[in-house]
Amino acid sequence: MNVPFLRWLRARFDLAHDMADPAEIVADVEAGIAFKGTNLWVLFFAILVASVGLNVNSTAVIIGAMLISPLMGPIVGVGFGAATSDVDMVRRGLKNLSIAAGLSVLVSALYFSFTPLTDAGSELLARTQPTTWDVAIALFGGAAGAIGFTRREVSNVVPGVSIATALMPPLCTAGYGLATAHWAFMAGALYLFCLNAAFISLAMFLVARILPLPQHAFENRRQARRAKLLFWAVAVLTAVPSVYLAARIVQRTTFEHNAQRFVDEELNLPGAYVVTRRIEADKRTINVLLTGRLLTPAQLRGIRARLAAYRLPRAQLTVRQGLAQLDSADARALRTSLLEDLRSRNEQTMAGYDTRLAQLQQLLAQQAADHTGLPAPETLLREVQAEHPTVRQLGLSRLVQPAADSLRADTTVVVAVRTARPLPATEAQRLTQWLAARAGRQPVRLLLEPAAQDAPPARPVPPRQQRAGRR
């Protein structure tokens, strides 16, 4: 009874039916590994675009740098080479990835050494410390990218993975840390890049092992067995530390989440306000600066007793009261909090503007349709194309002709039409009559724009070529 169901599942989740030819996949992987010519120029431009985006705190520019960055090539090459037992491909992938990462850090450091804008924005600060979600995105996104990379038809999966896994911005953030001597920023950004690269390569390795791809040919079985053992050892050595680091990140993220909730619920008391909070998961410390009403020692003991209820049994809570206790670390934390709040408010404002703009555009289209007596341009285009298939584009507008003295102004409905080829006069007249009837007998003027695909006029043949043709 379960066999048909298993066959149905296998047919639904089969990855081999639309897989590209293995030779094409290998050629694409080889083209992405090399950093010379086009790939090298694109790498330099992606570095500069990402550095500018981080410098001016522009999310759109950073996304553009992720899209054009060629860093996915050698990472995919390492995972694919390990899955197909190609020692040379793995070696070249690791070499080129190291060169590309080093160039990215150095070029971005050079940029941040000369730019007049030296403040760290929210986009840059977001790349200084990996979280649990970064690890999950790298693993699942890498698996999706591996599947999309091996398909016959090109899809938007690989560009989406480039955006989701964010390889170039962490390297440019490391360059910022190198240029400004923020070693914690540099270490955290490189840590994030290494985790992303390791999990993307691991996902590519696992997907490629599932697919029916030919293995690299060796001279003898002993050499093949040795190479496979080496690849599995490298995969395990890569996966085990990555999983360990991912588990540590999960623990740190959980601690930070519980600590944030504890501060929000237990220390926001009437008359007392939280100015800054410094949460260090590695040291399991919570350092809070309060202002306003002073808390008594008994109140502080009661608050510390509540730590266990938030799964923070061994956490150390330090509460400083009064702005006189403000230090440089508090100033940096306050500045970071203000930047995050400003970025969140800007995103909400822009989302509200986009929604309002869409509503206004819809309202204007509806008002135009009501005044002309015709439906929306999209609907009218479909109706016109039913009788005139050569029509490709259509636009509506109202032409108001001011009247003299006290006479009422006349309004003419203008319909602009673009066709694939010139419209005959009889067909144009019939279309004008139909539009006038559709508009309720309002005056309609048909504006025929030049054909979308007009052929250029033929050039006259010179007399010498004519004589040569007659000969």
Tens of pLDDT, residues 81-107: 888 878 788 888 889 999 999 999 999
State the pLDDT confidence band at 57, using cuts at 50, 70 and 90.
confident
- The pLDDT of residue 70: 85
- Buried b / exposed e over 254-276, threshold 16 CB at 10 Å, is ebbebbeebbeebbeeeebebbb
**Could you give the residue ranges of the DSSP H alpha helices within 267-410?**
297-305, 328-372, 377-387
Whole-angstrom Cα distance, residue 448 to residue 136? 55
- The pTM assigned to this predicted structure is 0.56
8-17, 173-182, 315-324: range with lowest mean pLDDT = 8-17
Whole-angstrom Cα distance, residue 265 to residue 259? 10
- The pLDDT of residue 454: 47
Backbone angles phi, psi at 292, to 5 degrees: 100, -140
Tell which residue, 287, 290, 291, has the closest CA to residue 259. 287
Q: List the beta bridge partners of residue 273.
A: 291
Map tokens 């990462």 to a residue.
101
State the pLDDT confidence band at 55, using cuts at 50, 70 and 90.
confident
User: If you average pLDDT over residues 368-382, what whole number do you get?
Assistant: 73
* DSSP 8-state secondary structure symbol assigned to residue 326: -
User: If you average pLDDT over residues 39-46, what whole number do you get?
Assistant: 88
User: What is the token pair recorded at 217?
Assistant: 């040919």
- The pLDDT of residue 108: 92
Q: Is the pLDDT of residue 367 over 70?
A: no
Map tokens 């939280």 to a residue.
274
Ranges in the chain annotated CATH 3.30.300: 373-448
How many percent of the chain have pLDDT more than 90? 5
194-208, 209-223, 380-394: range with lowest mean pLDDT = 209-223
Give the range with max mean pLDDT: 59-73, 100-114, 359-373.
Answer: 100-114
Q: Is the pLDDT of residue 459 over 50?
A: no
Ranges in the chain annotated CATH 1.20.1080: 14-217
- The pLDDT of residue 106: 94
- The pLDDT of residue 262: 92
CATH number assigned to the domain covering 373-448: 3.30.300
Q: Sort 250 into a burial class: Cβ within 10 Å, 0-12 / 13-18 / 19+.
A: middle
Q: Is the pLDDT of residue 146 over 60?
A: yes
| Total Cβ atoms within 10 A of residue 191 | 18
Whole-angstrom Cα distance, residue 116 to residue 48? 15
Residue-wise pLDDT tens digits, 162-206? 666 678 888 999 999 899 888 888 888 888 888 888 888 888 888
Q: Is the pLDDT of residue 270 over 70?
A: yes
Whole-angstrom Cα distance, residue 343 to residue 349? 10
Residue-wise pLDDT tens digits, 394-452? 887 777 666 555 455 567 788 888 888 888 888 888 888 888 888 776 788 888 886 64
- The pLDDT of residue 110: 93
- The pLDDT of residue 161: 67
Q: Could you tell me which CATH class the domain 14-217 is placed in? A: mainly alpha
Q: Is the pLDDT of residue 460 over 70?
A: no
